[in-house]
Amino acid sequence: MKAHKPDPHEMPLSSSIRFSVPPCLRAIGLLLATVTGLHANGFYIPVQDPFAASRGNAFVATADRPSAVFYNPAGLTQLDSAAVHLGVYGVRLGIDGETEIDGGSHQNKAEFIPLPQLYVAMPLNDRLAAGVGLNAPFGLR
């Protein structure tokens, strides 16, 4: 009986495949791994409360105002009594400027756009609260 002699061109099943990745492919892989997502918000207005705006919109963890309806509804349980928030942000996107290229003055006339916020919230018991909100986070045209 003859022993089976392995073919030098045949790779045994137990061996691992080793290969070298060229440096340019490593660089491309690293670049693609560090790309962040693109959020095309367009005309999104993230600020819905002056208190939250004063904190740089870092309001989610301490959402103890009626505007928590927008930011973090679970924060409504931190309210001690019924509360109402009514507000309007005014936005005017007009730009006046001069350019040194042609020495001319340019204007982008825009109207005043009011963006309303209305929030009503109240605790129902120590673990449950209810709230309703009316806002326009995409109110720009």
Q: Where are the domains of the chain?
A: 50-135
Residue 121 has pLDDT above 90, yes or no: yes
Q: Whose CA is closest to 79, among 139, 23, 29, 120? A: 120
Q: Whose CA is closest to 50, among 85, 15, 93, 26? A: 85
pLDDT in tens, 69-120: 888 888 899 899 999 999 988 888 777 778 777 777 777 777 888 888 999 9
Cα–Cα distance between 80 and 129 in angstroms, integer?
Answer: 10
- Read off the pTM: 0.60
Sequential DSSP letters for 126-141? SS-EEEEEEE-TT---
Alpha helices (runs of H) in 17-138, residue ranges in sequence order: 23-33, 50-54, 68-71
Amino acid at 141: R
pLDDT in tens, 58-79: 777 778 889 888 888 888 998 9
Q: Kindly list the distances between the CA atom of residue 109 and the CA atoms of 32, 95, 96, in Å, as whole numbers in the listed order.
A: 42, 7, 8
Per-residue pLDDT band for 124 (boundaries 50, 70, 90) equals: very high
Cβ atoms 88, 73 nearer than 8 A: no
Q: Which two tokens stand for residue 138?
A: 């995409």
